[in-house]
Amino acid sequence: MLRHDIPIFLRRYTDYDTANSIEARKYLKTYGLTPPAVESHDQQAARCMAILDAKPSPIEKYRYLSVLRNSNANIFYRLLSANVKELTPLIYTPTVGEACQKWSELYTFPEGMYLSYSDKGHLHSVIQNWPHEVEITVVTDGSRILGLGDLGINGMGIPVGKLSLYTACAGIHPKKTLPLCLDLGTGNEELRNDPLYMGSRRPKVTPDEEREFLDEMMSALTERWPSIVIQYEDFKNPFPSLERYQNTYTMFNDDIQGTGAVILAGFINAVKQSGTPAKDQRAVFLGAGSAGVGVAKQIVQFFINEGLTEDQARRCFWLVDSQGLVAHDRGKLADHKLYFARDDNEGKQYKSLEEVVEYVKPTILMGLSTIGGAFTPQILEKMATMNERPVVFPLSNPSSKSECTFEDAIKYTKGKCLFASGSPFPTLHHDGKDLVPGQGNNMYVFPGIGMGAILSKSVSVTQNMIYASAEALSTALLPEEVSPNWLYPAIGRIRDVSVIVTRGVIRAAQRDKVDRELALRNIGDEELDQYIRERMYDPFKEGERVENEIAELVGRPASSTGKEAGANGAAGAGQPQQPRVKAVSDAVPLEGKPTLLREVTGYTGSGASDGTPSGR
């Protein structure tokens, strides 16, 4: 089998990398198909960043990065890993929101898998078309994308972006991730009438129809990949599926559990820094949807761990929705709101956030409402008047829907607030200091939750595993991050943070006895951290691994990364003669070797001509 017979999408991980040595290019049969220079990683990054900087808008930068991810995943992840703070807002929130709105308009190449309602009854066979082994999938039905509503299959941008962060932050190999979008119709009539919309034009299926479809999908996924971790994302009503599947499959919902965990971690650190003990905290939540209730329930567990009873902990919360304070005597409430509904309002209905703040006198103000500017100057000033260190968390995405900006929070609380947001805000100079806003981004926890479930081979993702991710994150601050009152670690340390979170999740899986990788129970934390790091995909070392494997196969000494040829890597006048590289037919057969080449391309050396990856 010639390398040219391998489908192009199986070759993107290594084959066309301009950092590949001449020997590697000849072996991979890509010699002459890329420019002759053998580049360093720094040269590659400099070119990519220059191209990126020249793009006039965030959406154009997003499109360039998408092309890069699909043409050479190693270069893309090198760039992302080295510039995670700068590039995350371009590949995920807030830019991914615009990308989803324009997904059908901007569509260029396939990414991920689409399962349509018309495939019901045949999902097992459709899923067999995916060419790789999969460790984790992110699945959405597009019915509630960020704060943008029902976008149908245009919501595919969310699984694609999310899984890029699983790879960049926790080192899950990109080939072992599956972006999955369900085409179950859409209630968005404008989309159904859009001639460019690429999904089905039927109305959204009923809840019963969706439940039957999801039952079949979950069965099909786990039949194909028994240890797969399944993360649900951006479903309009996420609670039923979480309750239905969380104890049967290795699944979790990031909107509910991931959001709750990352905010809990920031909250734990904010409580420590505020000086107000847990029993005296009063939290007002603007937003009583799935995210708001999920966050509040996570914090309830923290209060219980701090010595409160469950009832005492629950009564520290006042939730506000579009009709005002959530109270039992207000009228019929959605089931998920009942747990926090107040019964002590003495018949009075508080219709606005301002009224609730005046009534409760909260120490904590959290926003998950997607109502931009809802934390008005008057409310922020009131928080500063009532508290020495008010906790202000405007958590809605994207930035345009954040309840307040970092600048306004600092300005109207006179720099007193402990702040974390869902969207990124710039550093602010105030009172002679540079203040860094905390961003309660789920990327601090969901990569570690996924990696922890994968490495422990857990049969489910328990609530204790989710809580452990938050607790681990809260301990990840360095001393130099604690002193300026940061609530979250520097995002540039995300890989180190993910190791800590992954370890916490694995230990919780062991305590709950849902782990199947029993050998990990017998090693200490330091050894476990090393185990985690060794299993992380590292785009900076992929080229070296390929080089060393090729060296073994062709019988020459292994080199570092093959960069010794430098900028003039092609052999020619004045250049050292390159070592002879055997033809593929002369090489040591790949059968029986646990090789990276087989892992990343499916090539077995067996002479198969259909391009089918091994391990199908």
For the annotated binding site for (S)-malate, the residues are 144, 397, 441
Counts of helices then strands in the chain (DSSP H, E): 25, 14
Compute CA distances 22 → 16, 118, 350, 577, whole Å.
12, 49, 72, 11
* Residue from 207, 106, 119 nearest 156 by CA: 106
* Structure-token pair, residue 331: 């009228």
Q: Please state, in angstroms and rounded to a whole number, the distance separating the CA atoms of residues 614 and 590.
A: 12
Element spanning 137, H or E: strand 136-140
Residue 288 exposed, middle or buried by CB count within 10 Å (0-12, 13-18, 19+): buried
Cα distances (angstroms) measured from residue 615 to each of 123, 136, 217: 20, 17, 21
| Region of residue 379 (left: phi > 0; alpha: psi -120 to 50; beta: else) | alpha
Long-range contacts of 517-524 (CB under 8 A, 24+ apart): 517/455, 517/456, 517/457, 520/455, 520/456
Any idea of the CA torsion for 601, 607, 609, 614, to the nearest 10 degrees? Answer: -40
Residue of 13, 27, 92, 467 with catalytic role: 92
Q: φ, ψ for residue 561 (rounded to 5)?
A: -125, 15
Residue positions forming the annotated binding site: 144, 233-234, 255, 397, 441
Residue 30 in tokens: 């890509």
Query: Is there a contact between 455 and 502 (Cβ–Cβ < 8 Å)?
Result: yes
Residue 393 host element (H or E): strand 391-394
Give yes or no: 102 in active site.
Answer: no
Q: Which of 13, 61, 117, 162 is catalytic?
A: 162
Known binding-site residue numbers for a divalent metal cation: 233-234, 255
Contact 78, 45 (CB under 8 A): yes
Task: Compute the distance between CA of residue 325 and CA of residue 342 in angstroms, rounded to an integer.
Answer: 8
Question: CA 338 to CA 344: how far, in whole Å?
Answer: 14
The 3-state secondary structure of 509-546 reads HHHCCCCCCHHHHHCCHHHHHHHHHHCCCCHHHHHHHH
Q: d(Cα 130, Cα 430) in Å, to the nearest integer? A: 52
Active site residue 232: no
Sign of CA dihedral 580, 583, 588, 590: positive
Per-residue 3-state assignment (H helix, E strand, C coil) for 202-228 = CCCCCHHHHHHHHHHHHHHHHHHCCCC
Are 325 and 350 within 8 A, CB to CB? Answer: yes
E-strand ranges in 146-223 read: 177-183
- Cα–Cα distances (Å) from 392 to 258, 259, 271, 282, 429, in that order, read 19, 16, 12, 12, 18
CA distances from 318 to 321, 368, 470 (A): 10, 13, 22
The rounded distance, in Å, linking the Cα atoms of 9 and 600 is 11
DSSP 284-342: EEE--SHHHHHHHHHHHHHHHHTT--HHHHHTTEEEEETTEE-BGGGS---GGGGGG-B
Tokens of 276: 């107000």
Cite the active site residues: 92, 162
